[in-house]
Chain A
Amino acid sequence: NAGVTQTPKFRILKIGQSMTLQCTQDMNHNYMYWYRQDPGMGLKLIYYSVGAGITDKGEVPNGYNVSRSTTEDFPLRLELAAPSQTSVYFCASTRSGSLYNEQFFGPGTRLTVL
């Protein structure tokens, strides 16, 4: 199993550009999450999904959109990128049944908005 994979690893965007961060998991997990990690600020939840077709906002959803059309994929869309969105983005997944279960994280995408 590859676990949780994220693409791209690095990206530089200009202000106002758009992009999609890709996340795929091959563990048949129903729960998936998107976090951003700013230096010294820990992990902030952007959006999460408890199954295909179901998404919910986290703590910092503004400026982002998500979709969940399949169990495996959970892409994060940035529209009109802003410097405040410069961060490292992590996708994670958990097997279904409970939010108590271990979260498996991808390797992250480092995004810079200039």
Chain B
Amino acid sequence: GENVEQHPSTLSVQEGDSAVIKCTYSDSASNYFPWYKQELGKGPQLIIDIRSNVGEKKDQRIAVTLNKTAKHFSLHITETQPEDSAVYFCAASSGNTPLVFGKGTRLSVIA
């Protein structure tokens, strides 16, 4: 089955700097890669996703890149703000099977 590895497990950045979180996956059949943000005491919420027919997708300060050959994808957050502090999860799916999540990255943005 699918296995998703996520790094780093914790990340601290200064406000205004960029943050990058990386994930690798094992199943070459996977073709859907969402990212979820979990704020303290809440359930995860989708922030961006990408499908295997594109290499990059942007939404304001966040972007996701996908390298299908290397089986890795990354989340990029630019101009970080204190409200970006949260736990971020990557996930992967072939569309025929449920999502498999990474273990999460705790991002702290220091003002």
* Cβ–Cβ < 8 Å partners of A42 in chain B: 6, 89, 101-104
Contact A99 B99 (CB under 8 A): yes
Beyond A40-B104, A41-B103, A42-B103, whether A98 also contacts B98 by CB under 8 A is no
In-complex Cβ contact of A58 among B45, B95, B98 (8 A):
B98
In-complex Cβ contact of B34 among A33, A40, A102 (8 A):
A102
Tell me the nearest residue of chain A to B96, going by C-beta. Answer: A99
- When chains A and B are docked, how far (Å) is the Cα of A103 from the Cα of B46? 7
- When chains A and B are docked, how far (Å) is the Cα of A105 from the Cα of B91? 15
- When chains A and B are docked, how far (Å) is the Cα of A30 from the Cα of B41? 26
Number of interface residues of A (CB under 8 A): 22
Please report which residues of chain B, range 72-100, place their CB below 8 angstroms from some CB of chain A when the two chains form the complex: 89, 93, 95-100
Please report which residues of chain B, range 11-50, place their CB below 8 angstroms from some CB of chain A when the two chains form the complex: 32, 34, 36, 41-46, 49
- When chains A and B are docked, how far (Å) is the Cα of A48 from the Cα of B98? 8
- When chains A and B are docked, how far (Å) is the Cα of A105 from the Cα of B95? 19
Contact B93 A99 (CB under 8 A): yes
Q: Among A48, A98, A99, A107, find the residue whose CB has the most chain B CB atoms closer than 10 A.
A: A99
> Quick check: is A90 within 8 A (CB to CB) of the other chain?
yes
> Quick check: is A92 within 8 A (CB to CB) of the other chain?
yes
User: Could you tell me which B residues sit within 8 Å of A by CB distance?
Assistant: 1, 6, 9, 32, 34, 36, 41-46, 49, 51, 89, 93, 95-104
Which 3 A-B residue pairs are closest in the complex by CB-CB distance?
A105-B43, A42-B103, A43-B101
User: Could you tell me which A residues sit within 8 Å of B by CB distance?
Assistant: 4, 33, 40-45, 48, 58-59, 90, 92, 98-100, 102-103, 105-108
Apart from A42-B6, A103-B36, A107-B42: 8 A-B pairs, beta carbons within 8 A: A43-B44, A45-B99, A45-B100, A58-B98, A99-B95, A99-B99, A105-B45, A107-B41
